[in-house]
Amino acid sequence: MNTKISDHNLTQASSHVTQTVDTSLQSSTLKDTNTYLTEATFNLSDYLAQRREQVEAALESSITSGYPEKLYESMRYSLMAGGKRLRPILCLASCELSGGVLEMAMPTACALEMLHTMSLMHDDLPALDNDDYRRGKLTNHKVYGENIAILAGDALLPYAFEYIVVQTKGVPADRLLKVIAKLSHAVGAKGLAGGQVADLESEKLQNLDLATLNFIHSHKTGALLEACVVSGALLVGANNEVLHRLSRYARNIGLAFQIIDDILDITANKEQLGKTPGKDEKAQKATYPSLLGINESRYQAQKLIEEAKKELAPFQEKAIPLRSLADYIITRTH
């Protein structure tokens, strides 16, 4: 199979549309937030550390113990197992870019991490990826059994939506409905679940093409990342042009994220990844490196990140965190 592609092929999968920068985006909705930021003074490491600490504190209080104890323990075990917390941080960053404050977005940020955690708990099960380690710890089913791991993941899913509705303060109900609709779409048949099924059905296929691989990962990985970015702006009531730009940004970084994941599965070790490396090759899964090679895959990821950052140009300094997070996605080691 000929896998040689042009630069345009991969970026097309993220539905990128080149547009002239519209200065009208710099409206009153985007003023007076993050005005202190400059490229020279912004420190991504400090920013990530601060936001992770805030997210961890919010997650810690989001689920307390209850009966049956084992169910709550299982839910907390995976939710509080650490990790990059990239998804909630993306939500918080897009909320601030759009003129909001952290407090209005934190419940949604926590809910996004609950949904992500649910997907990892189920993904690690023997029926799917069958992994023993996640984030450097034993996977949930290895500690609590497959039955409890399934049910704990099931419990996190609806609780995420409940948490948004109950805990969000000062945001109109119509905006919350839009957020819930966006998140529901991202994890359903047209998002994460659909991508996971397509991934399972594609295992060991010898003729899987790039278009199918793009479909799998734009749904399995990209849909939830897009929801993270867009939901932060929905909470603020951002206009359609802002939402469309953030959506295109998110689709590009989502695909780049998966390309880097595929590369790290080959190049990183267990200590770096916090999970078993080399699983894709062992399962005979098609990956970006297997179709394009590692160097070309890195190049395509970089192209996607550049396209993503172009979408943020009208927001100027307010987009510094999101621009820096895009760069982080392709320079990370786990």
pLDDT tens digit sequence for 149-160? 999 999 999 999
Contact of 312 with 249, CB cutoff 8 Å? yes
Over residues 193-221, mean pLDDT: 90
The pTM for the full model equals: 0.87
Q: What rounded mean pLDDT belongs to the chain?
A: 88
The per-residue pLDDT for 2 is: 41
In a domain, 247, yes or no: yes
Estimate the crossing angle of helix 146-167 against helix 69-79, to 10 degrees: 80
In a domain, 230, yes or no: yes
**Measured CA angle at 300 (ends 324, 17), to 5 deg:** 75
Over residues 200-213, mean pLDDT: 86
Least trusted range by pLDDT, from 13-17, 51-55, 174-178, 245-249: 13-17
The per-residue pLDDT for 94 is: 98
The per-residue pLDDT for 273 is: 67
pLDDT at residue 33 greater than cutoff 70: no
Number of compact structural domains in the chain: 1
CATH of the domain at 56: 1.10.600.10
Over residues 213-230, mean pLDDT: 95
Between CA 102 and CA 77 the distance in angstroms is 25
List, for residues 91-109, the tens digit of each pLDDT value.
999 999 999 999 999 999 9
The per-residue pLDDT for 16 is: 38
Nearest to 17 by CA among 259, 249, 329, 253: 249
The per-residue pLDDT for 270 is: 67
List, for residues 172-187, the tens digit of each pLDDT value.
999 999 999 999 999 9
In a domain, 296, yes or no: yes
In a domain, 19, yes or no: no
State the number of CA atoms in the 13 A half-sphere of 201 facing the CB: 10
Over residues 230-247, mean pLDDT: 98
Over residues 35-61, mean pLDDT: 90
Tokens for 160? 């995420």
Between CA 229 and CA 234 the distance in angstroms is 9
pLDDT confidence bin for 6, thresholds 50/70/90: very low
Terminal Cα distance for the chain, rounded? 31
Least trusted range by pLDDT, from 2-6, 165-169, 277-281: 2-6
The per-residue pLDDT for 203 is: 83
Distance of alpha carbon 100 from the chain centroid: 20
In a domain, 327, yes or no: yes
Between CA 142 and CA 83 the distance in angstroms is 19
Between CA 70 and CA 20 the distance in angstroms is 55
pLDDT at residue 164 greater than cutoff 60: yes
In a domain, 3, yes or no: no
Contact of 262 with 199, CB cutoff 8 Å? no
pLDDT at residue 208 greater than cutoff 50: yes
Which has more pLDDT, 70 or 284?
Answer: 70
pLDDT confidence bin for 284, thresholds 50/70/90: confident
**What's the burial of 134, exposed, middle or buried (CB within 10 Å: 0-12/13-18/19+)?**
buried
Residue type, 209: D
The per-residue pLDDT for 163 is: 98
In a domain, 323, yes or no: yes
DSSP 74-141: HHHHHHTS----HHHHHHHHHHHHTT--HHHHHHHHHHHHHHHHHHHHHHTSTTTT--SEETTEE-HH
Return the percentage of the chain with pLDDT > 90, whole number: 74
pLDDT confidence bin for 135, thresholds 50/70/90: confident
Q: Which domain holds residue 232?
A: 44-331
The per-residue pLDDT for 323 is: 97
Nearest to 88 by CA among 66, 57, 46: 57
Over residues 235-259, mean pLDDT: 97
In a domain, 228, yes or no: yes
